[in-house]
Structure formats: structure tokens, C-alpha cells
Structure 1
Amino acid sequence: MNILKGQKQQFVTIKGTKDGLTLHLDDQCSFRELVYELTEKLALNQKQTEDSPLLAVRLKVGNRFLTKVQEEELRTIIRSKKNLIVDSIDSNVITKSEALELKKKNEIVSVTKIVRSGQVLEVEGDLLLIGDVNPGGTVIATGNIFVLGSLRGIAKAGFDGNKEAVIAASLMKPSQLRISDIMNRAPDTRKDDEQNDMECAYVDENEMIVIDRLQQLIHLRPNLTRLEGGI
């Protein structure tokens, strides 16, 4: 005997939180079934009065891709309950263009050249420069900057606002460093022949750019590496 016979599968699960409501929407049923049950459950569960406070609603749609039209239909259903407002719609699925943009922002761009005075090298993602940045030259990246050579010019990392970005160089003698919107001129306290180790620059807890030995990155930015095992 099947004791589950006759039970209706639930496509919408409503959970109350301290911040509002979270709606978990099944990602296997048809969209029309989802809309029907959502409308039905909101009508049964939502008791509203004129002075009811606004409740933020977060939709979790799992592995379902929603078109803009479908998103707006869900928002309209929820807005019809006067004290509900959609705070976010979270999906595990992204579009092909979004995936390509994400890949572009996270890939490492390798360039072999010398960036001379007056030249600007700019990339999306991380920059791996095999060569030097001469005085007056500039390298810019939305991610990290790694220079296998001397950095004597200007380096701007995390240019789209990423304060976790770092700058590393075999010889760190920049005229100017910038990470996100934080900028400084590197201290010039040593002669070139006194530096033997690669160095890195990063933003510390005081939002100041600090220069340290490259080996410190494994502690400062443990998630920097994309390979198992760390730096």
C-alpha cells in the first residue's frame, strides 16, 4: 500500500525569517504550476491589514532559469499583496553572456613585453606581465597584477573596486601604486641591490597599501590561488 498516494507535491515552500519571508520555488515543475501554487499559497497564508509592516521577500528558484517576463510575473503576484515587496530573486543558473563575462573577469591575461614610458597596458581580470614596467609606464587590471620583472612605473589593480586585489613584482620600485580607490607612492628606502625577494602590495585592515614579502600572501589572501595547495 502506497501511503503517499493522494498527497500533492508542494512546489512552493514559505519560510519566515527575522528579515522577512523566503520562498523556495521548485525548479522541476512547469512555470505555470509554480505560478498557480504561489498565488494560492499567498492568498491562504498572508493576512494583511492597513497597518501591516512591509515584508521583504527573497525568492530562491534553484536551477530554474527565469526570463525577464517570468521574473516580472512573479514580482507582480507578490506585489499584489500590499505589504510584500521582492527583495531578491536568487537562481543557480546564469546566462551564457553572464558566464562569459564572469570568465573574462577571472581569467589570467599573460603578456610578454616591456611597458615603456607613456604606454598603458590595461586588461580585464588578472594581469601576468612577463617583462618590465619602466618609469612613466602604466599597467591596469580589474584583478591582480603580477610582474615577472621590475615595476618602476604605475600599477593599478582592482580597478573596478576590488580591494582584495594585490600587486606583486620581482623588483618592486613603483612610482605609484593603486588598489581599488586607494592610492599611494611606494616608500623608496632601499637600493635595488638590497632587494632579493619578490614583493607584494595589498590593502590592510586600516585601508592602507602595504608592501611585504611575497610569501606573506598565503596568509593574507588564502583564496588568491586557483590551484589546490595554495601559493
Structure 2
Amino acid sequence: MDMNAATRPLKPDTGMTLTDAAYRQLRTDIIAGVRPPAERLRIERLSRIYAVGPTPLREALQRLAADSLVIATGNRGFAVAPLEAAEFEDLNTARTAIELQMLRMAIEKGDAVWESRVVAAAYRLGKLDARIRSDDHESLSEWETANREFHFATVSACGSKWLLNVRGLLHDQCDRYRRASVDLKRHERNLAEEHRQIADAVVERDADRASKLVAEHFERTTRILVQVLDAGD
């Protein structure tokens, strides 16, 4: 079954407009790769897939273009933004700078509740890290959620809503790239050990070591996918 063409009727939450629902679902599908990089997003086809009219879809696509997940191609309509090595390197530079600043702030300000959140998120992720090294593709989606929750937990006590918002935008962009990197190279990385070391350094309040480990962790992901994208070119 072609998942790209499978029907995915919108299910708006209470109080949510059709535009909001279309934006949310399309954003989720783009980040998850259901709508692959460079796919032409034809309104008529999307209307059939998501069971929604053209007006909410156009408005949703315009919002996604503002998020840089979609490219508006003038008279040709819209397309999913491609995956490009230079773009990911730039994204990783920005993401790392913000992440490390937030991590230091969280280590300084975090209380016992924050510390417990980090430990719990690390425990859940550790179990899934081991599973994705096998050929268990069904675990990848669950791993993605756990990975996101772990890294968010480490910085969640930073005390700045603006930094958290900017971080969220950058991580949504990076998620598309990281998913490809993890799926391609998950047999070659000991993600469980990488995450365990980060969690230990954070809980021990060792900001210098935690920052170094996170920077290296992000850089490995970037290096792997840049090699893959360059090889594809």
C-alpha cells in the first residue's frame, strides 16, 4: 500500500479550525517522511488524501512555507522542502548553540523534579535505544518520541519560554534529517551509551561535560547524514 497516497482524514480537536487541523497533520506527515522531501503538494490530491477542501489546505501550506517545511513555487504551487546537506549543517549549528546555552541554564536552575524527569526520560529512551539497533522498524516511531522527550527534559528547566519556542522550531526542522540518519546508521552507533553519558553528566550537574557530550552527539548525526546526502548527490 502506498502510504503517500493513503487516505488520512483530518480529526480536528475541539475548537480547532480545518486550517489548523490540516496544518497540524501536514506538518506531522512532512516531519515523519510520509510526505517525502521535494514531493509536489497538489491541492486536488491532498484534498482526497486528507478529506478537506482546497481553502484550508492552501492556508495550511502557506503557514508551512513560513515554517520552511514547504516551498512555495509560484505558479507551480507547493512542494515539500528538500533535504540538503548545507542546510542541515546550518540548522545543526543553530540548534547546538541554543541547546548548549539552555542546557547550562537548566543545570543551574533545575530542581529535584526536573532531575527526576531527566532520569525517567533517560530510562525509557535507554530501553528503546537497544531495540532500534535490531531490525525492529516498528520501534522507530516510538524511539523518535522518547528521544525528543529526553532531550527536551534535559533543557526544560532553563526558565525561558522564548528559548524553548525557538528550540522547538529548530528541532522540528532537524527531525526530518535525523530520522533519516537514525534509520540508515542505527546499527553503527551505540545510541544507548551516548544517551546514558549525557544523562549522567546532566544529573551530576557537570555542565561542561554535558555540553561537550551533547555537541558531539549532535555532530555525529550531522556528519552521518551529510555523508549520505553528498553521496546521493
Relative to the length of structure 2, the TM-score reads 0.26
Question: Which of the two has higher C-alpha Rg?
Answer: 1
Could you say which structure has the greater relative contact order, defined with CA pairs below 8 angstroms and 6 or more residues apart?
Answer: 2
Structure having the larger proportion of residues in strand: 1
Relative to the length of structure 1, the TM-score reads 0.26
